[in-house]
Amino acid sequence: MLRLNTAERIKVVLKDALGVPVTGLVAIDFKASSVYLYKADGSKTTIALTLGVNLFEADATDGPGIYEILLTSTHTNTLGPIAVSIQPALALFVATYFQDVVDGIAYTLGTPTGASVSIDIANVLLDTANILVDTAATVVKLPATTMASAVDVTTAATGVITSVKGPDNRDLTQMAGAGFVSANESLVALKTAILGVGTAVAGQVFDELLAAHLVPSSFGEFMNILSAIMLNRVKIDKNTKTLIVYQADNVTPLKTYPLYDLNSNPALLDASERGKGV
């Protein structure tokens, strides 16, 4: 990334057609002894090269092929993408292109306010230290007074905001408030009531009359059928070869089961299988 309005030395690697780094190049080895700069706004600038002024060979021994081209602040005065076309004069190297972006704002250090920049920096540090001291001196501190104690929870100590209270170590049964009945509504009472919910619910479920549970395929219906089989009237009808289970009135049929022999034929005396109830 190149800095805006700042002279920059760009680096390029120049090689011949076989990929071998080329050393010893001078200005005339470049097309028209120049390179060509293209800015983000589309403008083109021809940069005339002079060895040792704006064209440099980095190191022919340890860095063969590396060259530096100096761009002036005029060349970097436009934000955005920038490209440099580097063309050979006599095919001594392969045409190369350098691409980058001009970004940011360049800052120039102005004339020191004091005798030197170092003295100015020292003064800034001193001013910063003074600001820290002044800030510490203006911090509002709480009075060095202890907060209200548990036994004095309704009275604020001197210098302490009245809404700030100390710890309350009273028994939960002593909690109170508007419309609050401590004997029945304390946290202890609520805990006791909650612990009793399980037992109460269980009692309501298991003591519920089966007559109230008649929804088909429900657990209540199943319990009604089971109770009828165990307790109610059961009759074997020799004419229809069925087993009839009656409701609690012992008159109204609840379930009728077909009876079969070993060959799955309707049977009575030699019945060995009971079919699905209807």
pLDDT by residue, tens only, the chain of 278 residues = 999 999 999 999 999 999 999 999 999 999 999 999 999 999 999 999 999 999 999 999 999 999 999 999 999 999 999 999 999 998 999 999 999 999 876 555 667 777 777 888 888 888 888 888 777 776 655 555 555 555 544 555 555 555 555 566 666 556 656 666 666 666 777 777 788 777 777 777 776 776 667 777 788 778 878 888 888 899 998 889 899 999 888 899 988 999 998 888 898 888 888 888 88
Name the amino acid, one letter, at 159.
G
Question: Strand 253-260 relative to strand 273-274: parallel, antiparallel, unpaired?
Answer: antiparallel
> Whose CA is closest to 272, among 245, 263, 239?
263
Using CA atoms, how far apart are residues 30 and 221, in angstroms rounded to an integer?
102
**pTM exceeds 0.75, yes or no:** no
Fold classification of 2-103 (topology level): Immunoglobulin-like (2.60.40)
Burial class (CB in 10 A: 0-12, 13-18, 19+), 259: buried
Using CA atoms, how far apart are residues 98 and 12, in angstroms rounded to an integer?
7
178 by DSSP, 3-state: which? coil
Using CA atoms, how far apart are residues 135 and 112, in angstroms rounded to an integer?
28
List the domain boundaries for the chain: 2-103, 150-195, 210-274
